[in-house]
């Protein structure tokens, strides 16, 4: 069974204090790893898609990297507005030619001013 584990569950940072969130996965035939940001009471907001080990993508203070077993979301000099839950999802082939995404439970990030 495909599994996605995110750590830590919760993270508190001071403004400007860089850190990393981890997403480890066990899937057969990875067809994409996705990072989303979710604010309370809202739907997830797409951040990145990574497809192969060694791939990296950046957006403002965020940088996502991928290995064969895990992905990291690096947050450089975070600001209070970066506070949110960060979700990781993997996609792998399922029966009938479909692709099923599996989400982790998320990391709740709070950045204090």
> Does residue 110 belong to the site contacting other proteins (CB under 8 A)?
no
> Does residue 66 belong to the site contacting other proteins (CB under 8 A)?
no
Q: Which lies closer to other proteins via its Cβ, residue 46 or residue 113?
A: 46
> Does residue 64 belong to the site contacting other proteins (CB under 8 A)?
no
> Does residue 72 belong to the site contacting other proteins (CB under 8 A)?
no
DSSP lists the bridge partners of residue 35 as 48, 88
Q: Which lies closer to other proteins via its Cβ, residue 32 or residue 61?
A: 32
> Does residue 40 belong to the site contacting other proteins (CB under 8 A)?
no
């Amino acid at each position: 069974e495909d599994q996605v584990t995110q750590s830590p569950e919760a993270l508190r940072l001071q403004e400007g204090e860089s850190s990393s969130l981890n997403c480890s996965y066990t899937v057969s035939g990875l067809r994409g790893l996705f990072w989303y940001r979710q604010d309370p009471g809202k739907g997830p907001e797409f951040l990145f898609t990574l497809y192969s080990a060694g791939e990296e993508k950046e957006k403002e203070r965020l940088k996502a990297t991928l290995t064969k077993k895990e992905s990291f979301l690096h947050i450089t000099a975070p600001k209070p507005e970066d506070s949110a839950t960060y979700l990781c999802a993997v996609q792998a082939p399922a029966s009938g030619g479909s692709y099923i995404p599996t989400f982790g439970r998320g990391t709740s990030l709070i950045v204090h001013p």
